[in-house]
Structure 1
Amino acid sequence: MTRLALLAACCIVVALGLGSFVSAQDPAAPPGSLHLTQAQRLDQPSTGFSPAPYTIDPDPRSPDAPGGSWTDVSLPHASPYLRLKRAMRPSESLTPTTLTWYRLQTGQLAQISGPRYLYIPRWKAAGRIAVYADARLLYQSNSNLYSTPSNEPLWIPLDNYGDASPPTTVTIRIQHLRGLDSALSTVWVGTADALSWRYQWRSWLQNRLPLTSSAAFLAIGVFVLFVWRRHRSETLYLLFTLTSIAVYIRSLRYYVGPDWVPLDDAWFNWADVNARFVIIYLAHRILEQLHGRTRPWLQRTLIAFTAASSLLTLPFFLSMPHAGIVAPLIYPPLLVLALLVFGIGMGDARKRHSKRAMLVAGWGLLGVVFGVHDWMMQNNLVNIEHLLLGSFVNVGACLILMYLVFERYMVAIDDVAQANARLESRLHIREAELTASHQRLRDIEQREMLNEERRRMTQDMHDGLGASLISALGSVERGQLDSSDVAEILKDCVEDLKLSIDSLEPVEADLLLLLGTLRFRIGPRLDNMGIALRWEVKDVRPLDWLEPRMSLHILRILQEAFTNIIKHAHATEIRVVTAETADGVTLSIIDNGVGFALEPARLAGGRGLQNQLRRAEAIGGRVEWTPADRGTCFVLWLPTARG
């Protein structure tokens, strides 16, 4: 912040130095130029504002020359501010006016090779100006009566017209309101190489710099307004926008230019005068936002003065003096209010140790000093060729306020970044907790799955292999089985154990892979018994629910079907066929044996058929037995998806 204040101060010092150099009274004019500091002056009373005549006679002895008594004056020259005019708004045809003529001798221009130019650093009047070279009109302003470009230097070609000779006399005609002051700076004539740099520097310092800074300030103010609409609690953003608008209106005076402004004089001056009260009020509100201490009595005083000035200078009240005329009377209370606001603001800022508020208050006090200079310059109390310093105060104020809003904006961004960082940290912590919780659940699920698989295998071994071994053991103990029967029982037990092991192989929902495992186990046994196996299996849709427990049920159902064929059907051929239905898959086992009657077999209490029905129901399927041409057709239907 200290760097910003130093930068703004350095900019003003450099600008003042350049301005002083550009406007310096140089008795020894550089080669190719003449610096005119002496002139003859003539005042003529007139009524209304009349167009400048195209030609005049510069010879004072001619009857067509401006009549009256010419007096010698030194430039810069300013007439006194006489009195306030009441009860009249300016009128093009009825207002009392004064024609002020300045005649300058330029005979020495013949010694300077052309083309040649006329440069007037400043002229000031509530009216219009016209410039003549000898007898011919060269230039005429078309500005409004009160919004005259008192800050706009003039650059006029003198003899850029073919073989025109340099003029010996330059006459300046200023028509302005009677009773109000007028002023004319020194005049320069010469070549562009000798003078254009003076004109360009003054034009940049007094016109283009205020225009650029205030326009940029206004553009940023519009952007900040949209930011404020999203963050209504940030009052500083709104105050910044309002200040940018008020500063822009106040700065119009510096660069309205010599052309007509599309706004009535009265309203232009009303806005110009009262924008200063608005700026003081907004500066007070900004200081309150920065140092945090409110002064209700000062705020009410500012509102009262701003409202009174705005109402009393309204163009509707014809009985009141025009705002442009009463402006000198408005400056004293404006000065007092500015000293109160910035003086008290500086004190409050020091008590609250607010460097930002001290910077704004200090800059405001500097602006008060510059404002006094400008007021003295407008009232011809100092050299009118000085630079108007208020524009530079506006430039510095724009930089300071933009920095404050930018800083506040960056603080908000940092707050958001810190909030995001905290949220990200909490998210990482929560994610770690969820990961740990998920891992614990996976471990629990894995243990449950292992326990479930252990229980299943235990149950299968108890119901299958265990039951067969216990039954065989009892028969052997009772002497009911010979060695061949025992061998057959042991073979069945081994097959049952192999089947349990095969069910543990991952088949990834592929029924054909499961059937391939069954074929690998049952094929050699069929070959040894002389039974041909015809494998008519084709690809079918996957069964997503096919996991080890379900696979074992399917294998036991099919094993029981093959066992029944081997033991009871006396078949020589077995066909295995797969097919798809609308909602599932069918697996058919067809033999060419003697066949059997289903109901008598079920009534006989055979455990094999009952186990097949129970296991099919457990996996959501069903089994059917139907007679074939020769033998029996066993069908196992399996659903595509389990409900």
Structure 2
Amino acid sequence: MGLVAGPLLALGGMAALAQESSGEIARGAAVVIDQAQVLILSDGQAPQDRAISLPLHWDIAMPSREGRVEVRMRFDAPAALAQQPWAVLIPRVGNAWRVEVNGNLLQEAGELDAFEDGWAAKKPAWVPIPAALLAPSNELKVTLRADKGRRAGLSRVLVGPSRELRARRAYEDWTRVVLPQAASVLSLLVSAFCLLLWWQQRDRLYAAAAVGELAWGLRLGDTWWEASPLPWLWWSVVVLLLFWVWTAASYVLVREVSGKGSRLETRAMALLIATCPLCIGLASWQESSLLVVAWMATSLLLWLCVIVRMGRNAWRQPSLPRWAIAIALALCWLALTRDVYAGRASTLLYEESAWAKFAAVTMALTVLLIVGLRFKRAREDLVTLNHSIQHRIEQRESELKAQYARLNLLEREKATTAERARILRDMHDGAGAHLIAAIHQIESGDASPAELLETLGESLDQLRLTVDAMNLPDGDIGGLLGSLRFRLERRIATAGLRLKWRADELPVLERFGSTQMRHVQFILIEAISNVIQHAKASELAIRASHSGGQIHLEVRDNGVGRGQRSGNGLRTMRERAELIGATLALEPASPGLRVLLALPVAEPPAVP
């Protein structure tokens, strides 16, 4: 509805103004002058003085020529109305002009002697007449400068009291100035909007709409902008090139909305678009508009075929954008066809305003509708895609969570298995070894009950220490030593050893977990067991200190000094020290043997 509401309101306003102005003129003293005597002065021809019926269309009366025209008209001013403000209203006049009443100059615009000047009249002329210059019978003289191919001429002239012409003046200003300016601004705003959308989305439809509306908006500016920025010849080339750009952009827009045409249509349009600059260049060089007119006629014929094809496609596959652009282009085609005929072949239509600038409003609104629908669809697709991506992300997150749960379960099972293996290993190396020794003692029959009881007690101590290691805080070497003393002190005393204990305050080893703590515990138990079983010592000293970024643990006896320098026990001690990044050393103590275990406080550097 909005697509046609704007043009209909504009046409309704124009019709109301036209009806009001016609009523004012019919009822009052204002007259419409349509008969005149003209004197035509053109280079290469003798002066022509003859009576004509207005309007005067110079390009038809004197094609491909330039010259000057003096138009003389008569009108009466009743004495009863002569004291009222009078005016002359000329809806269309050009290119430069001068108005005189009874030999007195009233107003002029442009340079009458500067042919092809950049300035040309394009707005209605409103010329007040002082009451002192009026007589019962008056002569109105309009002098024109007429450039070739520039639609010079003179429409019918209205003369009368100003109040009776006021409505007609508003109508002419509305149709020839206000509406074309509004259409230009609308096209430029639509172009800017489409350009912004293209900048964001890089859609060819937005680019074609932006370029087409920009070219059409600038071209419409030529219908009301009187002072062209370039000399007339060059400015006319620019205006024609703007129409060429609009043609190319509109065809791209048609292909994006209504689909591609046949190969013959595509080639014909490509040839038409490619030959336009050539025709404009040759026409400018020859100073003749025939090539441009021929190109325009060919363009209208080819566009008619395209519009018929668009209507057929819209009928077969109905959609609002297809019907809208087909109707808008059909209106533009009718308006342009009428304007070409009016400008090249009809004198009677000279004073009527061009239709294309009104049809341009419908085209601009159609482009705005199509672009808006495309943007709405793109936004909906984006929202749908966003929801789809969100759903896929949520699904993927769910899968990752399930996979993480499975991996976490496997990791826990792996950790449990590793812990079980460690406990079994500790039991095998500790309590298991003592139980095997007890079995051998029973089988051999050589061991006394006290010896057997001692072996079983050692096995029990190993089991208790294994359980203690599970409950120790990670990295707390001081706590581990305290637990070790608590479990082994009675056994050490039973073995006849005097215990010397010295433990400084030790830092917590952050990188040591339960596994590393168990390795440290086993090394110390193995060292103490070696002293009890093999050293034949009377004294056992255990020291713990912290210096040089290391925790130093020392087990020392005053025995025979041999101890266990080889075998499974020592090999297992070295393997466990290597697993936790510690250093194990056995040194003679004079007397006895000293076992040194150095634990680095910081993480040891990785080996490259």
TM range (shorter): 0.7 to 0.9
Task: Give the alignment partner of residue 465 of structure 1, picking from 419, 426, 431.
Answer: 431
Structure showing greater relative contact order (alpha-carbon pairs closer than 8 Å, 6 or more residues apart):
1
Mapped contact 1:23–1:386 kept (Cα < 8 A): no
1:362 aligns to what? 327
Cα–Cα, structure 1 residues 208 and 471, in superposed 2: closer, same or farther, change >3 Å? Answer: same
The 1-side partners of 2:131 and 2:441 are apart by 147
The 1-side partners of 2:159 and 2:560 are apart by 135
Pairwise CA RMSD of aligned residues? 4.8
Shift of 1:265: 2.0
Cα–Cα, structure 1 residues 47 and 620, in superposed 2: closer, same or farther, change >3 Å? Answer: same
2:469 aligns to what? 503
Cα–Cα, structure 1 residues 305 and 181, in superposed 2: closer, same or farther, change >3 Å? Answer: farther
Q: By percentage of residues, which structure has more helix?
A: 2
Q: Residue 622 in 1 paired to residue 583 in 2? A: yes
Mapped contact 1:155–1:199 kept (Cα < 8 A): no
- Secondary structure of the equivalent of 2:354? coil
Shift of 1:531: 3.8
Cα–Cα, structure 1 residues 42 and 217, in superposed 2: closer, same or farther, change >3 Å? Answer: farther
Superposition pairs of residues 179-198 of structure 1, within 5 angstroms? 181-184=153-156, 186=158
1:63 aligns to what? none
Bigger drift between 35-44 and 401-410 goes to 35-44
Q: Which one-letter code corresponds to 1:552 in the other structure?
A: R
Cα–Cα, structure 1 residues 311 and 573, in superposed 2: closer, same or farther, change >3 Å? Answer: closer
Cα–Cα, structure 1 residues 136 and 565, in superposed 2: closer, same or farther, change >3 Å? Answer: farther
Cα–Cα, structure 1 residues 218 and 289, in superposed 2: closer, same or farther, change >3 Å? Answer: closer
The 1-side partners of 2:491 and 2:82 are apart by 133
Unaligned runs of 5+ in 1: 1-5, 49-67, 89-94, 160-164
Cα–Cα, structure 1 residues 297 and 558, in superposed 2: closer, same or farther, change >3 Å? Answer: closer
Mapped contact 2:57–2:347 kept (Cα < 8 A): no
The 2-side partners of 1:538 and 1:12 are apart by 93
2:355 aligns to what? 389
TM-score, reference length from structure 2: 0.76
Mapped contact 1:99–1:176 kept (Cα < 8 A): no
Q: Which one-letter code corresponds to 1:15 in the other structure?
A: A
1:79 aligns to what? 56
- Secondary structure of the equivalent of 2:584? strand
2:226 aligns to what? 258
The 1-side partners of 2:272 and 2:574 are apart by 102
2:455 aligns to what? 489
1:175 aligns to what? 145
Q: Residue 343 in 1 paired to residue 331 in 2? A: no
Cα–Cα, structure 1 residues 522 and 465, in superposed 2: closer, same or farther, change >3 Å? Answer: closer
Q: Residue 601 in 1 paired to residue 563 in 2? A: yes
1:51 aligns to what? none
Shift of 1:490: 3.9
2:13 aligns to what? 18
Shift of 1:457: 1.8
- Secondary structure of the equivalent of 1:254? coil
The 2-side partners of 1:188 and 1:140 are apart by 21
Q: Which one-letter code corresponds to 1:339 in the other structure?
A: L
Mapped contact 1:590–1:631 kept (Cα < 8 A): no
Mapped contact 1:129–1:140 kept (Cα < 8 A): yes
Shift of 1:210: 1.9
Q: Residue 636 in 1 paired to residue 600 in 2? A: no
Mapped contact 2:499–2:539 kept (Cα < 8 A): yes
Shift of 1:262: 2.0
Shift of 1:527: 9.3
1:57 aligns to what? none
- Per-residue displacement from partner, 1:590-626 (whole Å, max 9, x unpaired)? 65x63552xx3346x7875555344334544332234
Mapped contact 2:99–2:141 kept (Cα < 8 A): yes
Identity across matched positions, percent: 19
Shift of 1:554: 0.8
Q: Which one-letter code corresponds to 1:399 in the other structure?
A: L
The 1-side partners of 2:35 and 2:435 are apart by 143
TM-score, reference length from structure 1: 0.72
- Secondary structure of the equivalent of 2:21? coil
Cα–Cα, structure 1 residues 380 and 498, in superposed 2: closer, same or farther, change >3 Å? Answer: same
Q: Which one-letter code corresponds to 1:214 in the other structure?
A: S
The 2-side partners of 1:86 and 1:384 are apart by 15
Task: Give the alignment partner of residue 248 of structure 1, picking from 217, 222, 239.
Answer: 217
Bigger drift between 405-414 and 170-179 goes to 170-179
Question: How many residues in Structure 1 have an aligned counterpart in Structure 2?
Answer: 580
2:137 aligns to what? none
Cα–Cα, structure 1 residues 427 and 334, in superposed 2: closer, same or farther, change >3 Å? Answer: closer
2:97 aligns to what? 129
The 1-side partners of 2:446 and 2:13 are apart by 131
The 1-side partners of 2:388 and 2:564 are apart by 72
1:551 aligns to what? 517
- Secondary structure of the equivalent of 2:563? helix
- Secondary structure of the equivalent of 2:146? strand
Task: Give the alignment partner of residue 214 of structure 1, picking from 159, 177, 187.
Answer: 187
The 1-side partners of 2:148 and 2:582 are apart by 115
